[in-house]
Chain A
Amino acid sequence: MAYEKPVPAVDPDSAPYWDGAKDGKLMIQRCKKTGQTFLYSRQLVPGVDDSQTEWIEASGKGEVYSFTVARRPAGAAFQGDCPYVIVSVTLAEGARVMSNLVTDDVDAVCVGMPVEVIFDAVTDDLTIPKFKPA
């Protein structure tokens, strides 16, 4: 069956993130000068204008910064998933990443919950980094 959910409009800033996911790696950017890590993959570190950045593979471990449980879907393609969880995860490296938390117990999700990355190959071309309770 065709994949009917939104697919990312991959751009030069985000390509390493999505390419990395296909290889089973969670890629984030790091400022060579300050060591600050971040996503989304802007060319400039916020607040630092003369720095160079590099892509690094994150550990994939982190904790829930915040979350919501969708009781209504974001369009028909997500209807069958309800209820499902969207999380903002603070990675061990510091960057904040948004994705889904895959769990059978949506009511147990809370701020501060330890999580780790998993990779969901939803099509031949698209693998989405998601999270599960650690």
Chain B
Amino acid sequence: MSRQPVIVGVADAPTENRGRALPGTHVLNMQRDAANEALAEAGLTMADVDGLAVAGMWGMPGPGAMQPNLMTEYLGIRFPKYLDGTNVGGSAFVLHAGHAYEMIKSGVCDTVLILYGSMQKSQAARSLGGRPALFSNQFDMVSGLPSPAGAYAMAANRHFHDYGSSRETLAEIAVATRAWASMNPAAAFQEPISIDEVLAAAPIVDPLGRMDCCLVTDGGGAVVMTTEERAKDLKSKPIYVLGHGESASHVNINYMPDMSRLEVAERSSQAAYAQAGLKASDMDMAMIYDSFTITVLLTMEALGLCGRGEGKDFVKGQRTAPGGEFPMNTNGGGLSYCHPGMYGIFLLIEATRQLRGGLGERQAPNVNAAVCHGTGGVLSSGATVVLSNQKP
């Protein structure tokens, strides 16, 4: 019996009006509805779920500190055998998929539900300041570093210095991502933009302008994983999870060993490729956490999609846009589709949809393998999974 882990269900919560949750939605029923939709894709129900992974910023201080317990209660899951509340920032859900892989493969549990929800836009919960000057953040909060954008801006300036990348490099990423969003009816921003518009957008933290920064939206999603064997009886086309990896290096950007090199992603992706028995050059597309345009530039180099410092050539001339040579962030990303604060689950959702096929004009051509990489904190943690529609 093959205990090869597969993804059999995905769903993202609907939003309207530039990323607001629908009327009558709150952070719990949003997750319930996404979970039921993802389970229904496969022909499963909540009664099949025996593993639960969830992360978010809701309900804190308070019951949100124990989200796996709370969602077990709210969803009526009967005594799950695997609980995961790992929260290392927006990468968390990619880590969860890796952990779920091991739990499913080793027989601890059979069917894992990965969940996320956020009402941050409706609750106007985001700002650039107001974070406590605690521990290693004593120094940057005292100095007024806008957070998290300022930390990413520092990485960008260092990358520009070390490798000759530029604001134009970053604008290529923003424009290509928006072009994908224009084909995603669920995207908060679908109007195409130009390089010049990105360069002329309001400056936030040099060298990052408004269009280099992710959206602030509500949103949520669900991913269901089970065994290849179980998937034989299910309705959806299974997508194989072939490998995973994770790492972390710091909380404060000042303690990132080399700000122009995303070593956590180098390490997590190397682990994921090795487990999958594949190489970076085998990847047909990438879903990369785009909290900021610079996040993508650093990550694509770390994932080995190009050499270190070669990202500026990799993205030049809209190579990652629809019709380009390498499809990337095909849902429109955190830059243009949605960014509810912890975006990582949407990487898994979109890669699964692309690998299943049939997405119409948004469908990337000839994709058999995809790499998903989530970043958490300020380039602090990283997690990679390799997915495929081909039986290993």
Contacts and interface: CB of A to CB of B under 8 A. Distances in A.
Contacts of A91: none
Contacts of B253: 88, 98
Contacts of A40: 135-136, 138-139, 252, 255
A11 interface: yes
Contact of B205 (A10, A69, A111): A69
B317 interface: no
Interface in B231-257: 252-255
B123 interface: no
Contact of B128 (A66, A72, A81): A72
Interface string A88-116: 10000000111110000000001110000
A111 B259 CA distance: 12
B132 interface: yes
Interface in B125-180: 127-136, 138-147, 150, 153-155, 157-158, 161
A72 B204 contact: yes
A73 interface: yes
B277 interface: no
Most-contacted residue by chain B among A71, A84, A96 (CB, 10 A)? A71
A68 B259 contact: no
Nearest to B138: A8
B150 A86 contact: yes
A11 B132 CA distance: 13
B128 A6 contact: no
A75 B141 CA distance: 10
Nearest to A89: B254
Contact of A86 (B145, B203, B207): B145
Contacts of B157: 66-68, 111
Given A71-B204, A71-B205, A7 B129 contact: no
A70 interface: yes
Interface size class of B (residues with CB under 8 A): 35 or more
Contacts of B140: 86, 98
A72 B252 CA distance: 20
Contacts of B254: 88, 96-98
Contacts of A69: 205-206
A78 B314 CA distance: 38
Contact of B259 (A39, A66, A72): A66
B146 to A, nearest CB: 4
A70 B144 contact: yes
B153 A68 contact: yes
A128 to B, nearest CB: 6
Nearest to A98: B254
Nearest to A13: B135
A5 B142 contact: yes
Given A9-B138, A72-B128, A73-B128, A66 B158 contact: yes
Contacts of A6: 129, 131-133, 141-142
Interface of B: 127-136, 138-147, 150, 153-155, 157-158, 161, 202-208, 252-255, 259
12 contacts: A5-B142, A6-B133, A6-B141, A8-B141, A40-B252, A65-B259, A66-B157, A72-B204, A72-B205, A73-B128, A75-B129, A86-B145
Given A70-B145, A73-B129, A74-B144, 18 more contacts: A5-B142, A5-B144, A40-B138, A65-B259, A66-B154, A66-B155, A68-B205, A69-B206, A70-B144, A70-B146, A71-B204, A74-B128, A75-B127, A76-B129, A86-B144, A98-B145, A98-B253, A130-B143
Interface of A: 5-11, 14, 39-40, 65-78, 81, 84, 86, 88, 96-100, 110-112, 128, 130
